[in-house]
């Protein structure tokens, strides 16, 4: 029996769905769009591109054409959407390469090779390509990484990142590749209610062990003993909590889900702890009036449309099946009638007179 399934409707993207990233232009403020672009890159990866600058324009054109099949936008905004698309790739390229190396290293270790995370064995890893990367291309990439020049550059970059983190400048989190808007949606489903921003921030900035203790309810309000992923994230959390207590009082049960304006003032700059997502949605739980049309509210509407359309299709499918069953019954009756008429006319050859 043929089953009919509907494809997801393409989401609309508007210029309001882009955020400024300074002199670099703008990029999308929605985690789902970021993940879709990364998926497209995985699907199209067919060259030994060690840096974003190595990616050929022809590939970017091909990826952007595929991107059109998944999202809609006003063609008058095509240039701005293309800029946002490419800026996401620029921003995520190093993470993608790092994830590829991590996956390959895991495969190599399972095969019996032993090496630490800070001294990867590229010669061994070259035999274990990650998903989406052809073996020949992976070997070429590993050859490029297995040079003193690249290793020195990698160590220098790692040391610089550590220094910056110790100086309380950058933000890190433990939420993986999901955007914060997706984390909020997932957490709401798990809790059966909208999470507070406190819960969302701790779920993405505590260490694995401390998260388990937090969700088990074993910390008091002070979170004494809890370990954050960075010193900066602890300071950010504590500054926000102090501001919430000053504004809304000591009884935390009377506090709102969150206060986006208070969060921004407490941090002294926009964006820390929430990435490029809509701050009002992440902190308050409600999209701001300036958020892009790929916001949670529009995501819900699109999902509701899919459900309604699928319900109609299921109803039509049931009617088709009922009609087919009725036709089968009628054909069966007609065949039986014809057999009976033939037996009357010619007799039953199995019972000769």
Rounded Cα–Cα distance for residues 3 and 147 (Å): 54
Helix, strand, or coil (residue 57): helix
**The pLDDT value given to residue 182:** 74
What pTM was computed for the model? Answer: 0.53
CA distances from 352 to 29, 286, 343 (A): 86, 85, 12
Rounded Cα–Cα distance for residues 108 and 330 (Å): 64
Helix, strand, or coil (residue 333): helix
Q: Which residues contact 79 (CB under 8 A, 6 or more apart)?
A: none
CA dihedral 256, 259, 265, 269 (to 10 degrees): 140
Beta bridge partners of residue 59, listed in sequence order: none
- Residue 292 backbone zone (phi > 0: left; psi -120 to 50: alpha; other: beta): beta
CA dihedral 203, 207, 211, 213 (to 10 degrees): -160
**The pLDDT value given to residue 11:** 63
- Mutual orientation of helices 31-44 and 180-191 as an angle, nearest 10°? 110
**The pLDDT value given to residue 271:** 54
Rounded Cα–Cα distance for residues 235 and 20 (Å): 26
Measured distance between the N- and C-terminal CA atoms of the chain, rounded to whole angstroms = 46
| pLDDT per 10-residue tile (average), the chain, 353 residues | 47 60 60 83 91 92 91 86 89 88 94 89 95 94 91 73 50 58 80 88 86 81 80 85 88 86 73 62 68 48 62 78 83 84 71 54
Q: 165 with 136: CB under 8 angstroms?
A: no
**The pLDDT value given to residue 307:** 64
Helix, strand, or coil (residue 269): coil
Burial class (CB in 10 A: 0-12, 13-18, 19+), 352: exposed
Q: 58 with 50: CB under 8 angstroms?
A: no
**The pLDDT value given to residue 292:** 43
């Amino acid at each position: 029996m043929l089953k009919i399934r509907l494809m997801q409707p393409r989401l609309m993207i508007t210029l309001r769905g882009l955020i400024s990233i300074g002199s670099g232009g703008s990029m999308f403020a929605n985690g789902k769009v970021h993940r879709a672009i990364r998926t497209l890159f995985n699907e199209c990866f067919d060259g030994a591109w060690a840096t974003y600058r190595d990616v050929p324009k022809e590939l970017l054109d091909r990826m952007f054409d595929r991107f059109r099949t998944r999202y809609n936008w006003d063609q008058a905004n095509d240039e701005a959407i293309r800029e946002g698309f490419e800026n996401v790739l620029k921003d995520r390229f190093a993470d993608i390469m790092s994830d590829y190396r991590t996956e390959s290293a895991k495969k190599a270790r399972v095969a019996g090779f032993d090496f630490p995370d800070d001294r990867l064995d590229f010669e061994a890893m070259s035999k274990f390509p990650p998903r989406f990367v052809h073996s020949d291309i992976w070997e070429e990439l590993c050859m490029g990484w297995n040079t003193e020049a690249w290793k020195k550059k990698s160590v220098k970059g790692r040391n610089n990142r550590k220094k910056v983190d110790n100086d309380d400048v950058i933000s890190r989190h433990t939420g993986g590749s999901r955007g914060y808007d997706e984390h909020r949606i997932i957490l709401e489903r798990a809790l059966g209610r909208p999470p507070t921003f406190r819960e969302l921030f701790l779920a993405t900035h505590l260490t694995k062990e401390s998260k388990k203790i937090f969700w088990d309810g074993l910390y008091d309000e002070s979170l004494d003993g809890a370990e954050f992923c960075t010193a900066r994230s602890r300071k950010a959390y504590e500054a926000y909590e102090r501001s919430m207590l000053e504004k809304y009082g000591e009884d935390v049960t009377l506090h709102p889900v969150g206060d986006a304006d208070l969060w921004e003032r407490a941090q002294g700059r926009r964006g820390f702890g929430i990435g490029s997502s809509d701050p009002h949605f992440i902190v308050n739980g409600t999209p701001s009036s300036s958020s892009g049309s790929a916001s949670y509210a529009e995501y819900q509407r699109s999902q509701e449309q899919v459900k309604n359309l699928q319900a109609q299709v299921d109803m039509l499918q049931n009617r088709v099946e009922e009609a087919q069953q009725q036709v089968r019954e009628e054909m069966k009756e007609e065949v039986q009638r014809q057999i009976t008429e033939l037996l009357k006319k010619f007799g039953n050859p199995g019972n000769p007179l």
